[in-house]
Amino acid sequence: MKKLSLLGSTGSIGTQALDVVRCIQGEGEHAVQVAALAAHSNIRLLEEQIREFKPQAVAVFDLQAASALRAAVRDLDVKVYGGMEGLCALAELESADIVLNSVVGMVGLQPTLTALKAKKQVALANKETLVAGGALVMQTAKENGIEILPVDSEHSAIFQCLQGMHTKSDLNRIILTASGGPFFGKTHAELSGVKPADALKHPNWDMGAKVTIDSSTLMNKGLEFIEAKWLFDMEPDDIDVVVHRESIVHSLIEYRDHSVIAQLGVPDMRIPIQYALTYPRRFRSPVRQLDLADWQRLTFFAPDEETFSCFGACKRAIRRGGTLPAAVNGANEAAVALFLKEQIGYLDIGEAVCAVADTFPAGPVTSVEDVLAADRAARAYVTEKFSK
C-alpha cells in the first residue's frame, strides 16, 4: 500500500486525486492511503478531507488559516503545520513514500527538492518546479535515484508511450497537444477586450483560474514545452506542439523510423493522476471509457504563435536557458494575477512575458536562490511596468 503526501489537496488536481484514492480503495495492498494533506488557505474543504481521510499531518501555507484550522480540528489526532516550512515537512514526512505536488506556482519548487532529497517518489503536477528549476530538480532526482512521474495529461501521455522504448536513441521527437483554449482562431485585435470571465471558460478541462488563463494564452503549452525538455531530456528542436481541439489525443511520440505512437482518452485528469499514483500497475478507473465513434472527427492545427505570443516567449527562454525560464514564469504569474484583478488587459499578459523573455539576462543556475532571485526580479518588473 502506497502512503501519499498530497500537496495542494483542495485544488483541481488535489480533489481529483482524492477521487482516485476513493476509487482504488478496494485494490487491497495496491490501494493508496493518505498520510498527509496540504492546502493554501481553503481550510473549510481541507477540514472535510481531514475528517474523511484521517491523515497524520496537514499543512496550510497561509499562516493565519493554519491557526484557524488547528482550532477546528483540535478534536482530531492530526498535526497541523504552516507556511513553506509546513509544505516541506510534509514533502519529507517519514511515513509517506510518494509525494504528489499539485500546488500552483513557484511555491512548489522547494517542496519538490525536499521530497527528492528525502528519496520520496515524486508525482509532479506543479509545472513551475521544472520550468524554473529544471536543471536543479533533475540533478537532485538523479543524485537520489528518483524517477519523477509526470501528472500533466500531456507529459503522462508521453511517459506512457515511452514505456515500450528500448533505448533513448530510438526516440526521434515528442509531440505535445494543446486544446487551443477558449480563443482558438481569434485575432490579436479580437482579443483586446477580453475579460477574466471570458478567459476562464475552457472548452474541455475543469482547472483552477491561473492554469485556465494560461491555457487561453498558450502560456500553459509554453510551460509544458519547457517541462518536456527536462522530463524527457530532449532538445527544444525535437519537441513539437499541435493544437488538438477535442483533447482526446493527449500527446504523441515519434520513433526514428517515423512510427508515431499516441495515448488517447477522454479529457479527464483522473487518468494521468491514477497512473502516477499506481505506476507501474493499472487498475479500474473512475473515468468513462473512450468511444471514438462518439467523436467521429479529430482535428489538428499548427499553433498561432503570433497571436498567442506567450508560447513563443517560452521557447525563446528555454533556448537561452539559465535563469530566463524562471524569469518568464515569474512574469506570467505576476501578469495573470494583475489580469484577474482587472488591473491590466488580456493582451498585456503576452507583452509582459515577451518583454522579460527578450530583455532579461539568462544568468547561471547554481542554487535555488538564483532561481528565486530571477523570479522576484521579473515579478517586480511586471508590477512596475504594466499595472495601472
* Binding-site annotation, residues: 10-13, 42, 126-128, 152-154, 179, 202, 208, 215, 220-221, 224
Sign of torsion over alpha carbons 275, 281, 287, 288: positive
Cα 363 from Cα 359, distance rounded (Å): 12
| Rg from Cα positions in the chain | 20
- Cell numbers given for 253: 511520440
- Burial of residue 92, with CB atoms counted within 10 A of its CB: 0-12 exposed, 13-18 middle, 19 or more buried: middle
Which amino acid belongs to residue 262?
Answer: A
Pairing of the two strands 249-255 and 260-264: antiparallel
C-beta of residue 335 within 8 angstroms of C-beta of residue 344:
yes
Q: List residues forming the annotated binding site for NADPH.
A: 10-13, 42, 126, 128, 208
Residue 349 grid cell: 499578459
Q: In terms of C-beta distances under 8 Å and separation of at least 24 residues, what long-range contacts does 193-197 make, across chains too?
A: 193/346, 194/345, 194/346, 194/347, 195/342, 195/346, 196/339, 196/340, 196/342
The DSSP-derived string for 22-47 is: HHGGGGGGGSEEEEEEEESS-HHHHH
Known binding-site residues for 1-deoxy-D-xylulose 5-phosphate equal 127, 153-154, 179, 202, 215, 220-221, 224
Nearest Cα neighbor of 149 from 122, 115, 117 is 122
List binding-site positions for Mn(2+).
152, 154, 224
Q: 176: which strand partners? A: 241, 251
Strands (E), the chain: 2-7, 32-39, 57-60, 79-82, 98-101, 121-124, 149-150, 171-178, 239-243, 249-255, 260-264
Closest CA to 115 of 152, 82, 149: 149
